[in-house]
């Protein structure tokens, strides 16, 4: 598989994971609004450094699991059930909850780079998410676990995170008053994304039967 394709796979998978408004991208946008785009980019750089490390750990873990097909088979079925339940939960919550705007209070004037690293380190979701996605893509033959491939994929994932944070920083002013940034829309977004992942998981399970 071409390393260019692998890079863009990492970028795309990471983009999907960061699309819903959340702590990291909303914080980057708020910092940009209050302190300028440069500070928002500095914050985003710190976030992406941790994402790079987290994705690398996830890929190494996935490489280990790829040698244990029995464990992977069990994890696929467990993941499918979990993603379906998460999808149902967020779609139901989104339907029943009232609209409310996402607010992020930013008062700290500390180094935004380390601020980004700290908040990103608290968010451990990329590790299981990327581990599962790399195993899935490897099962489709879209990537392997050679060192060069892993580094390329991880670099793409970090870049994908930065691109989405960049988009939030420079376009938040245009979308901040729209429903896209409401908690209800956030839950719909998360539900749709987990639903897509659940569908991919189901297809993969069917292929291996």
Q: Are 84 and 8 in contact (CB under 8 A)?
A: no
Helix (H) or strand (E) holding 115: helix 112-122
Alpha-carbon span 35 to 38, nearest angstrom: 8
Closest CA to 203 of 136, 145, 141: 136
| Coil, helix or strand at residue 76 | helix
For each of the chain's 209 residues, which pLDDT tens digit applies? 688 999 999 999 998 878 766 778 888 888 888 888 889 999 999 999 999 999 999 999 888 887 777 776 777 777 778 778 877 877 776 566 555 444 444 444 458 899 999 989 988 778 888 888 888 888 788 888 899 999 999 999 999 999 999 988 887 766 555 544 455 666 676 677 777 777 877 887 787 66
Adjacent-strand bridge partners of 182: 101
Task: Provide the token pair at 142.
Answer: 């879209």
CA distance 123 to 80: 22
Give the Cβ contact number of residue 82 at 10 Å: 17
Closest CA to 18 of 63, 49, 48: 48
**What predicted TM-score, i.e. pTM, was given to this entire model?**
0.72
């Amino acid at each position: 598989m071409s390393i260019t394709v692998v890079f863009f796979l990492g970028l795309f998978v990471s983009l999907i994971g960061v699309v819903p408004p959340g702590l990291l991208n909303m914080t980057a946008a708020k910092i940009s609004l209050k302190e300028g785009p440069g500070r928002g980019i500095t914050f985003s750089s710190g976030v992406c450094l941790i994402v790079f490390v987290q994705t690398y750990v996830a890929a190494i873990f996935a490489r280990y699991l790829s040698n244990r097909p029995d464990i992977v088979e069990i994890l696929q079925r467990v993941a499918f059930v979990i993603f379906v339940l998460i999808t149902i939960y967020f779609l139901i919550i989104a339907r029943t909850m009232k609209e409310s705007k996402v607010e992020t209070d930013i008062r700290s004037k500390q180094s935004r780079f380390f601020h980004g690293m700290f908040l990103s380190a608290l968010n451990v979701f990329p590790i299981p998410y990327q581990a599962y996605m790399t195993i899935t893509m490897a099962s489709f033959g879209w990537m392997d676990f050679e060192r060069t491939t892993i580094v390329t994929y991880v670099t793409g994932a970090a870049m994908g995170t930065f691109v989405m944070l960049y988009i939030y920083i420079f376009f938040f002013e245009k979308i901040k008053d729209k429903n896209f940034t409401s908690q209800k829309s956030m839950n719909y977004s998360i539900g749709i994304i987990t639903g897509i992942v659940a569908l991919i998981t189901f297809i993969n399970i069917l292929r291996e039967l």
